[in-house]
Amino acid sequence: MTQKYIEQIANLLNMLHSLDRDLNLVSFNETEKKIYYTIAYEVHNNGKCKISDVISSSGFSRSTVYKAIKAFENKKMLRLIQSDSDRREVFLDFIAV
């Protein structure tokens, strides 16, 4: 690996650490962070995100995803919105800080 690539990786890691600080994700573990970023990805690409989307996209178990979502909800980082058309369906929405 060349010095250029090592420098680029170091820069990307610095950016990611800054992003974690800006989003108040520092206290979360890597699994929870991946789940948070999966939610952001789904919202960005689809305009909405269901819990089932996070489970299938992240590859984590249902219980792991639910625990992470509950932690984000407790920290007032996101909220759950029940679908009007299907009461079994729950959407995730970020809370602006």
Residues 6+ apart with CB under 8 A from 89: 50, 52, 82, 83
Helix (H, G, I), strand (E, B) or coil at 1: coil
pLDDT mean by block of 10 residues, the chain; 97 residues: 93 93 93 96 94 94 97 95 88 86
pLDDT score of 58: 93
Report CA-CA distances (Å) from 41 to 25, 46, 74.
Answer: 16, 8, 21
pLDDT score of 83: 86
pLDDT score of 97: 61
47: which DSSP letter?
A: S
pLDDT score of 93: 92
User: What's the fold here for domain 28-94?
Assistant: Arc Repressor Mutant, subunit A (1.10.10)
